[in-house]
Amino acid sequence: MTTESIEAAERLNAVRDAAQRAARLTGRTANDINLIAVSKMQEASAIRPLIMAGQRSFGENRVQEAQSKWPLLRTETPDITLHLVGQLQSNKAADAVALFDIIHSLDRPSLLTALARAMDAADKRVPCFIQVNVGAEEQKGGCPIAETPALIRAARDADIPLLGLMCVPPADVEPAPYFALLAKMAREEGLDRLSMGMSGDFETAIMLGATDIRVGTALFGERPTT
């Protein structure tokens, strides 16, 4: 094995072990937690060692970036599950439906309409999480809390498969209250999955019910700046 492969395997095992410990505190196991390796701004050469170590779920923030690297990587490893975890422009809905297996950032009626139209045209249903703006931050994507139940109903009416809710808590504050809020909202809507928790807080997220964690830095190291 190359040095890169050994280091990737060590980082992956460390994250998996931490997730396992947190899951046990809620009576679950690591098998109940889907670890998504967020590979935005990472070259294929940085992604392949994680694939070799056994990682199969990956997340990207931008459709165009994913289009540039994942078709080849998925040809090499067909059982990859690709998640869109960043904001999605409505005019990219068809491209997202074509490329991704799961979308985490459905957050507004106009995007719902675009995705439903794209799914109908492609004869393909792509499961989605509804992203909730739990911190009421103007600069962030996500559906306002008060408008989330209506968006959930609209998605169900449009035959968009809903997996659960997703959030990105405000930076530099304790995330636990925001994770607990998202879990409460999901329970009230009968949704089973929670996409929450990143490199710095995924253990807290798991203890508060996360089923899908989105981890970048802890798996890849510090992200490239260019």
What is the extent of the structural domain holding 153?
3-218
Report d(CA 17, CA 138) in Å as an integer: 36
Instruction: Kindly list the distances between the CA atom of residue 155 and the CA atoms of 102, 126, 130, 133, 192, in Å, as whole numbers in the listed order.
Output: 15, 12, 9, 17, 16
pTM comes to 0.95
Give 141's pLDDT tier (boundaries 50, 70, 90).
Answer: confident
Work out whether the CA dihedral 11, 13, 14, 19 comes out positive or negative: positive
In-domain check, residue 226: no
Residue with tokens 């992604």: 47
165-202 pLDDT, tens digit per residue, is 999 999 889 999 999 999 999 999 999 999 999 999 99
Instruction: Please report the pLDDT score of residue 200 as a whole number.
Output: 93
Instruction: Please report the pLDDT score of residue 153 as a whole number.
Output: 98
In-domain check, residue 162: yes
Instruction: Please report the pLDDT score of residue 137 as a whole number.
Output: 84
In-domain check, residue 223: no
CATH number of 42's domain: 3.20.20.10
Our count of domains for the chain comes to 1
